[in-house]
Amino acid sequence: MSVPSSPAPAAACGLGGCTNPVVVQWQRRVAPADPESLPAVQAVFACTQHAMALDLASHVHAPACTAPDLAHLPGCNCTPEPLPTPPPAVQTVTLSTGWTVSAS
């Protein structure tokens, strides 16, 4: 990818010289500089044309993920981390009197 002669504003998408304003973002893991570091994430930005699918954007992507990439949009080239699973719903029992109470 060539360096544009005049730097694009930071708020522009920039993919393939795209000058559309950035409107979406998702998170990508940053490979830690040393194994002791906590895994960090960085924000990745894109415009409406180069946004990945919303369900993908809700995941954290691998450090090697190249999205937004014209070859893969609206997908990407990594397998995103699974979403954290929500805590299990509280088990309830309904009493004969109509009350719903916790089963534990």
Interface residue list for Zn ion (CB under 5 A): 13, 15, 18, 20, 47, 49-50, 61, 65, 67, 76, 78
Residue 11 or 93: the one with the smaller Cβ distance to Zn ion is 11
In terms of CB distance, is 21 or 32 closer to Zn ion? 21
Min separation Cβ 82 and Zn ion, Å = 13
How far is residue 48 from each of residues 2, 15, 31, 97, 98, measured CA to CA in Å? 23, 12, 27, 54, 50
Give min distance, CB of 6 to Zn ion, in A. 17
Choice between 37 and 49, CB closer to Zn ion: 49
CB-nearest residue to Zn ion: 13
